[in-house]
Amino acid sequence: MKKLFITAEFMLGLCLPNVIQAAEVTITTTLHSYQGDGAYLAIYLTDANGKYNKTLWVAGGKAKYYKHLQDWARGSGLKSTEYDGSTGASVTSGEQLTFKVNIEDALIDAGYLIRVDSAVEDQRDQRVDAELPLTRRGAGTSVAGRGYVKTISYTL
Amino acid sequence: MLRRFHSLAGLTAALFLLITATTGALLALDPALQRANALVPARGAVSVADVAEKVLLAYPGTEQIERLPSGAVVVYFTQDGQTAADLINPLTGTRLATYQQSAVFAWLKDLHRAFLWDDKGRAGAGIVALLLSVLCVSGVFLLASRAGGWRQLFAPMRSASNGAISPRLHAELARAAALGLLLSALTGSVMSALRFELLPEAAELEADFPQKVAGTAAAPVGTLPALQQTDLVDLHQLIFPSRTDPQDLYALSTHQGSGYVDQATGQWLSYADYGNAAQLQTFIMELHTGETYWWLGLLFGLAALTVPALVITGFQIWWQRRRAMPHLQGNSAVGQADTIMLVGSESNSTWGFANALCEALKHAGCLVHLAPMDQLANHYVKAERLLILTSTYGDGDAPASASQFLQKLQKLPPTLSLPFAVLAFGDRQFCSFCAFADHVTEALQQRQWPQLLATDYVDRQSAATFEHWGVALGNVLGRPLMLHYTPVLPACHGLMLVERQNYGEAVQAPTCVLRFQSAPPGSTLPVFSAGDLVGILPPGNAAPRFYSLASASTDGVLEICVRQQDNGLCSGFLYNLKFGETAAGFIQKNARFKPAAGKSPILLIGAGTGIAPLVGFIRANTARRPIYLYWGGRLATSDFLYQNELNSYLADQRLSQLHVAFSRGAEPAYVQDKLLQDADQIRTLINGNAQIMLCGGRRMATDVATSLNTILAPIALDVATLKKSGRYLEDTY
């Protein structure tokens, strides 16, 4: 009995330092006014080399069109486990998308980037429509996109 | 049944069909316009490497090159932190124009496929496409049935006997556009079903993303073998690698497949064909949009243009039919009735006669149960007789309300037997005149039901025949029947007698040519031409009698030829009409009995007052096409109608030859005898594409047809064949 208690205490001691510290990040993306249907967006994290790390949000109802979010599709391998629970409707012209996501502290100020790929039916796919570094200092700063994204910003 | 289904589907979709088809027709212009503006090098002229190299010089920020289905080439690039797109000249890589999708066509497309209402609208458009497919298929079956069989589907069509233009216009347009509409609708339905995952979508097979790349310095794009080996014509798109990532690759897709190309070695690192299923889906989409096949797109667009006319004429047909629907009042229950009346009707016109007969029978003390033929029951408790009034549809088929009659008749218990009579309604212009009524009569005879009186035939809604039959039926039943058939008549015009010529009194065939002007003076005649009919209402009688017109309204007079019949109510009235007195009449168009357009010869055959429309055709022959007239009368000195006028037409060549036969006199002969004498000439005329037009009594028509069959046998033709191709027209009475 005593032995078991010690073992439990030992394990607890091991685990505690590993409890992940995460920050709640609110990301806001605003689209340009353009002619066409709702845009599909993939908002995800990459490392400093642009290598896919994790999916933050996918906007767009039909998974069969996700391949048009090209870099994200390549990085995530389009595995549904990568984006389950983090999807919503497509974002129409001129609209704003805001969502909250928990990001580990270890990824903040560590050279990681928030990136957006976008696509609209019958129009071109935009790889790296917008990209901005995930830093405490950068919070609240708007960055312009290159394609359908007008601006993107986040708060911590 | 099929017709009802067709109407219902059409009515449901009508408004949406108008939108979808009109926008579709306009959208069909887009690929053709794009193609017209695009510079398209032939296969073998330019490789993807050539284009990429030149584009990169002109656009250092190139991210992607795409060849549109129209053949135009677009470059997507970044400049000053913004992406943009230009149409380029594939030979030089230089800018042609900014690439911008037309806002107008984009809006039209949204209206076409989603009624400007996102996914819900798209589902609606999908349903409209499916309805249109169903309408096309059901419509083609109806066309075949109307034509009298699949083999006659492409034969010339006839106008409706009542002169309504909507049915014929609907049928002609539908026949021309059916295939294009069906292909548009089916491909559209498939696209919608794929989008909503009602059909399993075959994903394009994709090449694996290569795990290993050379990673050495990137080679100039123009030197990459994989790009050099790909013709521009096959290109779909080429995505350039990120400038900063040596691990990145060219993503190259063609019309057959896609894969990745190493930016250092220029070799394919992976490649996969899209697969047949995905290619088929692409083909279906390209067929629908006409993007790749712009000329096909234009044809589909033309087909779509017929839809507004089809919707409108379809609605008119439905409305006319609906308006003519029978209102059954005072109908006895099946179990109570002593007289069962069953009606087979396609356009509901037979119901008007049925109602008149029903009223007369009730007046004579019968308990009548009136129903469509399809409602034939298994037993009739008190019935003493069965009366059937039916028309025929197409080539001897059952009309709409009788489609199941013959099957039901087969299944009746053998104990049931009713004395019956059949009255057939039809149009002698059709080969299978009243054939369905004959089928019904035979089927009843086979069951050995007693026949009350021989089947009679009402040609083109002749009230006279109908009333005559009513008298015969009344005699059989032992109760005099007074039939009063009053068709819904058009508004009447006043016609004032201004001229007359009398003939034939010496041969007991008093006949006159009457000319009328519009009354009151100063009013204008309705529009008509020779061969049309005028319905004259004798005073105090609502049943009109029809006379063929010998003049056109442009002649300023309305001219008919009337033979006074014994006890003829209308002919007596007209024959005794004095100058300045008026008759009431209305015009009924007779579009079928008109000379064919063109210069080919016309052979006119007539007897007695049948001369009237024929004289009108000759009088209107200012183009001097060859016209031959064969006509028969009784005695040259008494009833040679229009003698002087015909001689003047011979003189001024409006008439080429005149052959007359008289049954009394020195050389008694009938008109068919003259034809037989001139058999060689007749054959020559027919070989020269001549058209035959015949007007006169029914007996004369039969005799002439028999003679003509004899004449035409050596050249392997007969009257039936000529009728089918519209070269033998009859107007008989």
**Rounded mean pLDDT, B14-22:** 95
Distance, CA of B531 to CA of A31 (rounded, Å):
71
Smallest Cβ–Cβ distance between B81 and the set A50, A70, A146 belongs to A146
Contact by Cβ (8 Å): B367, B360: no
% of chain B surpassing 90 pLDDT: 65
Q: Report the gap between the CA of A143 and the closest CA in chain B (Å).
A: 11
> ipTM for the complex?
0.83
**Interface residue ranges in chain B relative to chain A, Cβ cutoff 8 Å:** 63-64, 66, 76, 78, 81-83, 85, 101, 103, 106, 109-110, 118, 201, 203, 206, 209, 239, 242, 244-245, 251
Residues of A in contact with B66 (CB under 8 A): 124
What are the residues whose beta carbons fall under 8 Å from the beta carbon of B77, sequence distance 6 or more? B59, B61, B62, B63, B83, B84, B85, B86
> Is B66's CB within 8 Å of A144's CB?
no
Task: For residues B512 and B457, give the distance between their C-alpha atoms in angstroms, rounded to a whole number.
Answer: 29
pLDDT of res. B317: 86
- Please name the residue of chain A whose CA is at the shortest distance from the CA of residue B100: A123
Q: pLDDT digits over B375-395, tens only?
A: 888 889 999 999 999 988 766
- Work out the mean pLDDT of chain B and round it to a whole number: 90
Structure-derived torsion over alpha carbons of residues A136, A138, A140, A146, reported in degrees to the nearest 10: -140
Chain B residue numbers touching A35 (CB-CB < 8 A): 101, 103, 106
User: Of A13-27, B404-418, B609-623, which has the strongest mean pLDDT?
Assistant: B609-623
> Nearest CA of chain A to the CA of B111: how many Å?
12
Residue A45 lies in a domain: yes
Section A106-124 average pLDDT:
94
Edge-to-edge, what's the strand order for the sheet holding A143-144?
A96-104, A22-31, A149-155, A143-144
- The least confident of B16-25, B149-158, B699-708 is B149-158
Does residue B452 surpass a pLDDT of 60? yes
Residue pLDDT, tens place only, A29-84: 999 999 888 999 999 999 998 899 999 999 999 998 999 999 999 899 999 999 99
Touching check for A88 and chain B: CB below 8 Å? no
pLDDT > 50? residue B30: yes
A-to-B residue pairs, Cβ atoms closer than 8 angstroms:
34
Q: Which domain holds residue A123?
A: 26-155
Q: Do A74 and B201 touch (CB under 8 A)?
A: no
According to the CATH classification, is domain B602-732 in 3.40.50.80? yes
pLDDT beyond 80 at B622: yes
B85 and A64 within 8 Å at the Cβ level: the answer is: no
Element (H, E) at A3: helix A2-15
Chosen from B70, B83, B204, B205 to mutate, greatest number of chain A CBs within 10 A: B83
| Spatial distance between the Cα atoms of B135 and B141, rounded to a whole number of angstroms | 10
C-beta atoms of A70 and B242 within 8 A: no
pLDDT in tens, B688-703: 999 999 999 888 998 9
CB B87 within 8 A of CB B99: yes
Which of A35, A69, A120 best tests the B interface by mutation, with the highest count of B CBs <10 A?
Answer: A35
CA distance A47 to chain B (A): 13
Show residues of chain B in contact with A123, CB under 8 Å. 101
The mean pLDDT value for B430-454 works out to 89
pLDDT score, position B349: 73
How far is residue A60's CA from residue A43's CA, in Å, rounded to a whole number? 12
Query: pLDDT at position B77, please?
Result: 94
Between β-strands A96-104 and A149-155, what pairing exists: parallel, antiparallel or unpaired?
unpaired
Question: Across the interface, do B242 and A122 touch by the CB < 8 Å criterion?
Answer: no
Question: Which residues sit opposite B83 in a β-bridge?
Answer: B78
Give me the number of domains chain A comprises.
1
Query: Does B144 have pLDDT greater than 90?
Result: no
* H-assigned helices in B324-462: 349-363, 405-410, 435-446
pLDDT tens-digit readout, B308-338: 999 999 998 888 777 655 666 678 888 899 9
Percent of chain A with pLDDT over 70: 88
Residue B242 C-alpha, separation from nearest chain A C-alpha, in angstroms: 10
Q: Residue A146: its chain B contacts at CB < 8 A?
A: 78, 81-83
d(CA B344, CA B392): 8
Domain with CATH 3.40.50.80 in chain B: 602-732
Read out DSSP for A72-123? HHHHHTT-HHHHTT-EE--B-TT-EEEEEEEEEGGGTTTT-EEEEEEE-TTS
Q: Tell me, what's the pLDDT at B394?
A: 63
Range in B120-124, B141-145, B386-390 with the lowest mean pLDDT: B141-145
Mean pLDDT of B35-50: 93
Contact A124 B78 (CB under 8 A): no
Closest in B103, B206, B251 to A35, CB measured: B103
Residue listed under structure tokens 């408790």: B381
Asked if B66 and A124 come within 8 Å (Cβ–Cβ), the reply is: yes
Q: What is the mean pLDDT of residues B219-227?
A: 94
Residues A36, B81: C-beta atoms closer than 8 Å: no
pLDDT at residue B591 greater than cutoff 80 = no
Confidence band (pLDDT; 50, 70, 90) for B459? confident
The residues of chain B that CATH labels 3.40.50.360 are 339-477
Mean pLDDT of all residues in B135-162: 80
A13 confidence band (pLDDT: 50, 70, 90): very low
Q: How far is A109 from chain B (nearest CA, A)?
A: 22
Question: Residues B468-483: pLDDT tens digits?
Answer: 999 999 999 999 988 8
The yes-or-no verdict on residue A2 having pLDDT over 90 is no
Contacts of B213 in chain A (CB under 8 A): none
Task: List the 10-69 stretch of A: residues with Cβ below 8 A of B.
Answer: 35-37, 49-50, 64, 67
Q: In whole angstroms, what is the distance from residue B447 CA to residue B455 CA?
A: 16
Average pLDDT, chain A: 88
| Residue extent(s) of CATH 2.40.30.10 domains in chain B | 493-588
B251 vs A contacts (CB less than 8 Å): 70
Query: Which residues of chain B are within 8 Å of residue A128 when distances are taken between CB atoms?
Result: 242
Task: Give B245's contacts in chain A (Cβ within 8 Å).
Answer: 49-50
The answer to whether A123 contacts chain B (CB < 8 Å) is yes
Helix/strand/coil for B615: helix
Tell me what pLDDT residue A76 has: 92
CATH dotted code for B339-477: 3.40.50.360
Residue B115 has pLDDT above 90, yes or no: yes
B296 has pLDDT over 50: yes
Asked if pLDDT for residue B239 goes beyond 90, the answer is yes
Cβ-based contacts of B76 with chain A (< 8 Å): 124
- A117 backbone dihedrals φ, ψ, rounded to 5°: -105, 145
pLDDT band at B164 (very low <50, low <70, confident <90, very high): low
Q: Confidence band (pLDDT; 50, 70, 90) for B163?
A: low
What is the chain B residue with the closest CA to A75? B209
What's B493-588's CATH class? mainly beta
pLDDT the model gives residue B347: 61
pLDDT score recorded for residue A12: 47
Q: Which among B82, B244, B245 has the least Cβ separation from residue A146?
A: B82
